[in-house]
Amino acid sequence: MRQSLLFLFLLLSLAAAGQTDVVGRWKTIDDNSGEARSVVEIHEMNGSIYGRIVKIFPRPNLEPDPVCDKCHPEDPRYNKKIIGMEIIRNLKKSGSEYSGGDILDPENGRVYRSKIWVDGKNLKVRGYWGPFYRTQTWHRAD
């Protein structure tokens, strides 16, 4: 009986740990409108975290499959399709968060230092520009 309870506890602990992981699909939310903008799929590769846009929720009167024409011309993502684009690169685990890499905002083409962490059921995504930062809350996508 005791071994069964221990096994059940370990199994539930592993399930709970999996729910707090940054890996998976996340809906990005517009800061101003509160509407979903895209789905980013976050994955681990060689000990680092990367994220790629896998879906865009098109807005009226805008290109449904845009390119990153505001990216810096020397960035390899310049004039490439945003769907499929890697926007989060090279984040490494540091305690309960991932940091040390960068994130691209395809709307303005800027690349920011970044860190991400799980907060309850949501993902917090922070981009730094010098001493300033902006934090977004992303929701797990179904």
pLDDT tens track for 62-77: 888 999 999 999 999 9
- Tell me the helix, strand and coil percentages in the chain, rounded to 5: 15, 50, 35
Q: Residue range 29-52: average pLDDT?
A: 95
Domain that holds residue 90: 22-140
- 118, 126 in Cβ contact below 8 A? no
48, part of any domain: yes
pTM of the full structure: 0.84
120, part of any domain: yes
- 107, 70 in Cβ contact below 8 A? yes
For residue 101, give the CATH number of its domain: 2.40.128.520
Q: What is the pLDDT of residue 20?
A: 53
7, part of any domain: no
Pick the range with the lowest mean pLDDT from 9-13, 68-72, 100-104, 132-136. 9-13
Q: What is the pLDDT of residue 32?
A: 87
- Picking from 113, 119, 104, the residue whose alpha carbon sits closest to that of residue 132 is 113
6, part of any domain: no
